[in-house]
Amino acid sequence: KYTRFSISYYWINSLGQKTSICNRSKNIDIPSGKENTTATVNCDHRIVLLENTSSTGTYYCEVKWNDIQKMGKGVFVLARGTGYIDSSHEWEILATFTVLLAVLSITATALLLWKRK
């Protein structure tokens, strides 16, 4: 009953639209003595080239037996165009803040020492 199943790969974009990528059918032989045991079958699928940045979305794998359907948790893929430059300036902001605090500390220390004299 569970030796024949189909695997579907698809993705859901940010608008919630489902796009099919690949459908496969499998027929697995169960060796003698391995009946009624759990088996694992790897069915890898690679997306070689993403068409463009609109390929961003969550990619899923779904397996269907006769009366059972199981879906994976999904993998989110962020597709970026060529020449993309990350616009986050976290390190620059952190360095600027650190230098500013150091300058203020030195200035405050100098003022305290000057007032003491």
Measured between alpha carbons, how far is 91 from 55 in angstroms, rounded to an integer?
29
Residue type, 15: L
pLDDT tens track of the chain, all 117 residues?
A: 667 888 888 888 778 888 888 888 888 777 777 777 776 666 666 666 555 566 778 888 888 888 888 888 988 887 776 666 666 677 788 889 899 999 999 999 999 888 876
pLDDT at site 32: 79
pLDDT at site 99: 92
Q: Are strands 4-12 and 18-27 parallel, antiparallel or unpaired?
A: antiparallel
pTM beyond 0.85: no
**Residues composing the chain:** 117
Between the alpha carbon of residue 2 and those of residues 22, 29, 40, 67, the distances in Å are 21, 10, 12, 10
pLDDT at site 115: 82
